[in-house]
Amino acid sequence: MSRGLPGPVMRVPDVDVAIPTIGRPSLTVLLDALGAQGFAGRVFVVDDRRERSTPLPIPPGASLDVVVLRGTASGPGAARNIAWRASTATWIAFLDDDVVPEPEWSAQLLVDLIDAEGAAGSQGTVRVPLSSKRRPTDWERNVASLETAKWVTADMAYRRAALRALGGFDERFPRAYREDADLALRTLARGWRLTLGHRVVEHPVRPAPWHVSVTKQAGNADDSLMTRVHGRAWREAAGAGGGAFAEHVVTVAAGSVALTSAVLGRRRAAGLAAAVWLLLTGSFVRRRVAPGPRSLAECSAMVVTSVAIPPAAVWHRLRGALRARRRDRSGRPAIEAVLFDRDGTLIVDVPYNGDPARVVPVAGAREALDRLRAAGVPIGVVSNQSGVARGLLTEAEVDKVNARVAELLGPFDVVALCEHAPDAGCGCRKPRPGLVRAAAHELGVPPDRCALVGDIGADVGAALAANARAVLVPTPLTRADEISAAPVVAGDLATAVDLLLGVP
């Protein structure tokens, strides 16, 4: 019997989840939900707390492959960058730590990503549960606006290739506000598509103080940055609405004129300005009270915060306009040299290998090194080779292997080796700083202008001990505690070089 040709092959996309967190208890609920669904990818949890004296609320014995990474307490955008750079998956699904995926979320995510063929990103649907027995409060209405917002990272997946090309989230946005719209607008500006999927997460309204609407005005600083980066038409492009800022400016101006005129004894001008201020403030109060509950507590809060919001909004917008002039994202010193661990980082790790024929480069190693060479950045190798002291290797064999590495990966500006035994007490064996300092000295570069890329904690330790930057590129042999302790984690050598070159 003849058989027909097979139809198109549907490939299930590989996807990891990234969750920045400040340690809220809701993280446990989220991880339990993903575990119950049998999510198969890795879950990168970025601990972005300033104080880490208590453990994260990660459920014990979770069936998930959870990788905890150390954040920099610089905001969710920076934390998400740490997560996606540590991943090697094709797709990264970003979730907030206070959402709850519906039972079929994991399965529907894969369907959405298959449907997103050719697109750079896929947005999920956010539902905010509200009481059916009363009108929502001002804060509840604020949270409920997530249901119609575009590209919110409460549930948003991006291709890792797109994130690499765009440089990820702009870390100048320090709040969970506008950093997602900025990334989406930069994506669309490249001519790439963003799609809307069918997966659903629930976003409960968490408790907030009565004055939360005033503290939220800090987001106006991010609006200033959006204007500087994307132009004045960014609100329409991002579906952000017009906002009430223009009215706030008039309200503040009227209040200022009233106070100034009163001080100068100009009663008529003070009275007219005060009337304008009172009219605008009263209108603002009515608009905020009308759709909500009419309780005394809610109405009182609306009156007080409606007086405070306009000056707070104007202040933060002005502050943001001044800060938006600073274009540099990182503020870190330029890297003048990059050092690499050898085994497990540049070549496949073969313990105590003295045979050049067994040298196999790690995928992408030659391309990554060539990019540094093309940028004029000196490169070197720093490697522990204790096999010599143990009698398992000869110096000649080590030299032959290094020659083969250079033949396959190109020349290095310096090669620094420690051939001592682990118990020799030398200062050069990683994680001690000797190798890094020696290589930096040979290159004529201060150690704090060097970076070391490696695959284990000893590489990170050596870099930090020498006051150099450290980038960890994990392998299956890298321990979880080494990953969580590393200041910077990259999923592969290409991403590590992107970070060090500052590629957007």
CATH code where residue 419 lies = 3.40.50.1000
pLDDT at res. 2: 41
- Kindly state whether residues 180 and 220 are assigned to the same domain: no
**Is the CB of residue 393 less than 8 Å from the CB of residue 352?**
yes
Residue keyed to tokens 């009481």:
131
Residue 397 counted as domain residue: yes
Residue 6 counted as domain residue: no
- Kindly state whether residues 445 and 493 are assigned to the same domain: yes
pLDDT tens per residue, range 344-366: 999 999 999 999 999 999 999 99
Q: Which of 438, 478, 488, 437 is nearest to 458 (CA)?
A: 478
Residue span of the structural domain in which 450 resides: 337-501
pLDDT at res. 7: 46
Residue 4 counted as domain residue: no
Of the three residues 313, 329, 345, the one that is the final residue of a domain is 329
Q: Which of 194, 99, 87, 84 is nearest to 146 (CA)?
A: 99
Residue 10 counted as domain residue: no
Q: Is 307 helix (H, G, I), strand (E, B) or coil?
A: helix
d(CA 310, CA 246): 10
d(CA 168, CA 83): 10
Residue 5 counted as domain residue: no
Of the three residues 302, 329, 356, the one that is the final residue of a domain is 329
Per-residue pLDDT of the chain (504 residues; tens, 9 = 90+): 344 444 444 567 899 999 999 999 999 999 999 999 999 999 999 999 988 888 898 887 668 899 999 898 889 999 999 999 999 999 999 999 999 999 999 999 999 999 999 999 999 999 999 999 999 999 999 999 999 999 999 999 999 999 988 889 988 888 888 999 999 999 998 899 999 999 999 999 999 999 999 999 998 889 888 888 888 888 888 888 777 889 999 999 999 999 999 999 999 999 999 999 999 999 999 999 999 998 999 999 999 999 999 999 999 988 888 876 654 444 444 689 999 999 999 999 999 999 999 999 999 999 999 999 988 899 999 999 999 999 999 999 999 999 999 999 999 999 999 999 999 889 999 999 999 999 999 998 889 899 999 999 999 999 999 999 999 999 999 999 999 889 899 999 999 999 898 765
Of the three residues 208, 228, 249, the one that is the final residue of a domain is 208
Residue 242: Cβ-neighbour burial (10 angstroms; 0-12, 13-18, 19+): exposed
Paired tokens of 286: 């009515």
Question: Residue 36 pairs with which residues in a beta bridge?
Answer: none
- Kindly state whether residues 440 and 473 are assigned to the same domain: yes
- Kindly state whether residues 273 and 288 are assigned to the same domain: yes
- Kindly state whether residues 323 and 353 are assigned to the same domain: no
pLDDT tens per residue, range 404-436: 999 999 999 999 999 999 998 899 999 999 999
- Kindly state whether residues 171 and 219 are assigned to the same domain: no
Residue 1 counted as domain residue: no
Residue 38 counted as domain residue: yes
Residue 3 counted as domain residue: no
- Kindly state whether residues 121 and 258 are assigned to the same domain: no
pLDDT at res. 3: 43
Residue 336: which residues within 8 A CB-CB, separation 6 or more?
377, 378, 445, 446, 449, 450
Q: How many domains does the chain have?
A: 3
d(CA 150, CA 222): 17
- Kindly state whether residues 286 and 432 are assigned to the same domain: no
Q: φ, ψ for residue 75 (rounded to 5)?
A: 110, 165
pLDDT at res. 227: 87
- Kindly state whether residues 360 and 433 are assigned to the same domain: yes
pTM: 0.79
- Kindly state whether residues 95 and 232 are assigned to the same domain: no
CATH code where residue 149 lies = 3.90.550.10
Q: Is 63 helix (H, G, I), strand (E, B) or coil?
A: coil
- Kindly state whether residues 374 and 437 are assigned to the same domain: yes
**Is the CB of residue 385 less than 8 Å from the CB of residue 352?**
no
List residues with catalytic annotation.
341, 343
pLDDT tens per residue, range 257-310: 999 999 999 999 999 999 999 999 999 999 999 999 989 999 999 999 999 999
- Kindly state whether residues 102 and 201 are assigned to the same domain: yes
d(CA 428, CA 462): 9
Q: Is the dihedral angle over the CA atoms 473, 479, 482, 483 positive or is it negative?
A: positive
